[in-house]
Amino acid sequence: MEFFHKVPHINFLAVRKLAMGMSVVVLLIAIASLVIHGLNFGVDFTGGVTVQVSYPAPADLQTVRSTLARAGFPDAIVQNFGTPEEVLIRLQPKRGVSGKDTGNNVMDALQKVTPQVKLEQVNFVGPEVGKDLAYKGALAFILTLLGILAYVWLRFERRLAIGGVLATLHDVVFVVGVFSIFHIEFDLNVLAAVLAVMGYSVNDTVVVFDRIREDFRKLRKGTPFEIINLAINQTLSRTIITSGTTLLVVIALLILGGPVLHGFSLALFVGIIVGTYSSIYIASAAAFMLGVSKKDLMVRVKGDQPVDDMP
Question: Site mask, another protein, residues 257-276, x = CB under 8 A?
Answer: xx-xx--xx--x--------
Distance CA 1, CA 7 (A): 15
Alpha-helical segments (H) within the chain: 16-36, 43-46, 61-70, 99-113, 127-155, 158-181, 188-218, 224-256, 262-278, 285-289, 294-297
Contact 79, 42 (CB under 8 A): no
Q: For the beta carbon of residue 119, count every other beta carbon within 10 angstroms.
A: 15
Tell me how far, at minimum, the Cβ of 16 lies from another protein, in Å: 23
* Residues between 61 and 120 with contacts to another protein, criterion CB under 8 A: 95-96, 98-100, 103-104, 118-120
Nearer to another protein, 179 or 200 (CB): 200
Nearer to another protein, 94 or 112 (CB): 94
* Residues between 128 and 167 with contacts to another protein, criterion CB under 8 A: 128-129, 133, 136-137, 139-140, 143-144, 147-148, 151-152, 155
Nearer to another protein, 96 or 306 (CB): 96
Q: Which of 1, 35, 299, 310 binds another protein (CB under 8 A)?
A: 1
Pick from 296, 267, 280: nearest CA to 205: 280
Q: Does 198 bind another protein (CB under 8 A)?
A: yes
Q: Which of 196, 273, 289, 290 binds another protein (CB under 8 A)?
A: 196
Distance CA 152, CA 148 (A): 6
Q: Does 241 bind another protein (CB under 8 A)?
A: yes
Distance CA 118, CA 105 (A): 13
Segment contacting another protein by CB under 8 A, of 15-23, 61-69, 223-231, 250-258 = 250-258
* 215: three-class secondary structure by DSSP: helix
Distance CA 303, CA 214 (A): 22
Tell me how far, at minimum, the Cβ of 80 lies from another protein, in Å: 15
Residues 6+ apart with CB under 8 A from 113: 63, 67
Q: Which of 242, 273, 290, 293 binds another protein (CB under 8 A)?
A: 242
Tell me how far, at minimum, the Cβ of 87 lies from another protein, in Å: 13
